[in-house]
Amino acid sequence: MRVVRPKPLTKTAFARFGEVIETDGAGSFVINDGKATRFHDLAGVDVGAQGGRPAISIFRAKPTSLPFDIAMFERHPLASQAFYPLSGRPWLVVVATDDAGRPGDVEAFVASGTQGVNYARAIWHHPLLALDEVVDFLVVDRVGDGDNLQEFRLDAPCRLES
Amino acid sequence: MRVVRPKPLTKTAFARFGEVIETDGAGSFVINDGKATRFHDLAGVDVGAQGGRPAISIFRAKPTSLPFDIAMFERHPLASQAFYPLSGRPWLVVVATDDAGRPGDVEAFVASGTQGVNYARAIWHHPLLALDEVVDFLVVDRVGDGDNLQEFRLDAPCRLES
């Protein structure tokens, strides 16, 4: 069985899949007469295809633990999708390259509790993987007509191990 | 001096200023083969005027404490602006009705650590008011050209008291 070990999530390692939403290393400027700092435009919200509009939702994810068998991936061909954890706890991000319309190479990351991600349009990713306890995530994605969900069940699962 | 005491934040009380982003009382459905619940479309992101696009940022707000004198309001004539706290701690929301282009009646709310708000377009509001400690907020607002900021300094401050 294919085994994947999650690596720490960094902007560089994740760049081909989308953006890491974090203040570390982000461009910022002071606002509100010095009372606040704006870490600016950390993720591009790309949801306008076929009349889509951006929406803010909250996903409440049940926890999992390692080892975990990855059996499927999904992707959203019309839009980006951003997740930010509201628990302050680490979580797992699992993505795959595209190989002629199917998930190809799998990569896994441990995101800290102060890291979100924005999956770029059409990037294969596993649904939310919270660790240890139920975690809420703030989500910015697309609402609208059109077929924005593709799922692909793997012929053989891929094992996520620490 | 005008004195305002913050009330608990509820969807009903806040409705004329925008949306409360919270799971309590929100429409939801199960996703990801039962592994997660989606509290769906909690806030409308209204940023498209004059070619604007949605962006995700993080604001880091210095704390304040009560009593606090409200000396100014701001508003964004081209777009909504959403804030969600990442600390799990209560914070303050201060808004005003519009009175012929100036802030009119002032209302203040205590938001819990699991409540965000989405100010509707052109709603007068005070900049972020974190309590007790520095708090990060996830922000969804507009990036783009155009004059999207109006500030109004009050002739006489308005005191916020617990």
**Is the minimum CB–CB distance between B53 and chain A shorter than 8 Å?**
yes
CB count, 10 Å around CB of B97?
Answer: 14
For residue range A125-145, list pLDDT tens digits in order. Answer: 999 999 999 999 999 999 999
Chain A residue with the nearest C-alpha to that of B54: A45
- Confidence tier at A123 by pLDDT (50, 70, 90): very high
Q: pLDDT value at position A100?
A: 97
**CA atoms lying within 13 Å on the CB side of residue B93:** 30
Report the chain A residue with the minimal C-alpha distance to residue B62.
Answer: A35
C-alpha separations of B133 from A11, B130, B136 in Å: 28, 7, 10
**Which residue is closest to A62 within chain B, CA to CA?**
B35
How far is residue B61's CA from residue B133's CA, in Å, rounded to a whole number? Answer: 9
B63 touches A at CB < 8 Å: no
> With contacts defined as CB-CB under 8 Å, which chain B residues touch A139?
38
Token pair, residue A13, equals 């390692």
Side-chain half-sphere CA neighbours of A121 within 13 A: 13
Phi first, then psi: what are they for B114, rounded to 5°? -120, 30
pLDDT at B1: 87
Q: Does residue A38 sit at the B interface (CB-CB below 8 Å)?
A: yes
> Can you list the residues of chain B whose pLDDT is less than 70?
none
CB contact under 8 A, A32 and B84: no
pLDDT in tens, A20-46: 999 999 999 999 999 999 999 999 999
Q: Determine the pLDDT at residue A15.
A: 98
| CA-based nearest residue in chain B for residue A34 | B62
Q: What pLDDT is recorded for position A39? A: 98
Query: Does the beta-carbon distance from A57 to B42 stay under 8 Å?
Result: yes
pLDDT of the residue at A1: 87
Max Cα–Cα distance, chain B, nearest Å: 57
Rounded distance between C-alpha atoms, residue A96 and residue A107, angstroms: 6
Taking an 8 Å cut-off on Cβ atoms, the answer to whether B21 and A61 are in contact is no
Rounded Cα distance between B56 and A39, Å, is 9
Answer whether A133 touches B (CB < 8 Å).
no
Q: Is the pLDDT of residue A16 over 90?
A: yes
**Partner residue opposite B57 with nearest CB, options A32, A42, A138:** A42
**Strand, coil or helix: A41:** strand
Distance between CA A119 and CA B31 in Å, rounded? 18
Q: Residue A8 to residues A36, A90, A103, A130: CA-CA distances in angstroms? A: 29, 10, 21, 15
Chain B residues closer than 8 Å to A88 by CB: 86, 88
Q: Which residues of A touch B35 (CB under 8 A)?
A: 61-62, 64, 127-128
What is this model's ipTM? 0.96
